Structure 1
Amino acid sequence: MSQAAQILELARERALDENLPYSGAVTPAEAWALYQALPNVRIVDVRTRAEWQFVGIVPDAELIEWKSYPLMNLNPDFLSQLKSKVDPECIVLFLCRSAYRSHEAAMLAAQHGYSEAYNVLEGFEGEKDAHQQRGRLNGWKSAGLPWVNP
Structure 2
Amino acid sequence: MQPRSAAGYAGDVSPHLAWDWVQAGEAVLVDVRTDAEREWVGFVPGAVPLAWKQWPGMVMNPGFDEGLRAAVPAGQKVVLLCRSGVRSIAAAKRATELGLVAYNILEGFEGDPDADAHRGRRGGWRLHGLPWRQN
TM-score bracket for this pair, using the shorter chain length = over 0.9
Paired amino acid for 2:95? A
2:95 is equivalent to residue 133 of structure 1: no
**2:17 alignment counterpart:** 30
The residue correspondences of 1:45-64 to structure 2 (distance < 5 A) are 45-64=31-50
8 Å Cα contact 2:28-2:71 kept in structure 1: no
**Equivalences, count:** 135
Q: CA RMSD in A?
A: 1.2
8 Å Cα contact 1:88-1:113 kept in structure 2: no
Paired amino acid for 1:132? A
Deviation of the 1:24 alpha carbon: 1.0
Q: Which shifted more, 19-28 or 66-75?
A: 19-28
Gaps of 5+ in 1: 1-6
Per the normalisation by structure 2, the TM-score is 0.95
Deviation of the 1:102 alpha carbon: 0.4
Per the normalisation by structure 1, the TM-score is 0.86
8 Å Cα contact 1:22-1:117 kept in structure 2: yes
Deviation of the 1:90 alpha carbon: 1.1
Quote the Cα distance in structure 1 between the aligned partners of 2:8 and 2:75.
17
**1:111 alignment counterpart:** 97
Identity of aligned residues (%): 44
2:12 is equivalent to residue 20 of structure 1: no
Paired amino acid for 2:70? S
Quote the Cα distance in structure 2 between the aligned partners of 1:62 and 1:108.
16
2:129 is equivalent to residue 120 of structure 1: no
- Residue 117 of structure 2 aligns to a residue in which SS? coil
**1:43 alignment counterpart:** 29
Quote the Cα distance in structure 1 between the aligned partners of 2:33 and 2:110.
11
**Runs of 4 or more off by more than 3 Å in structure 1?**
none
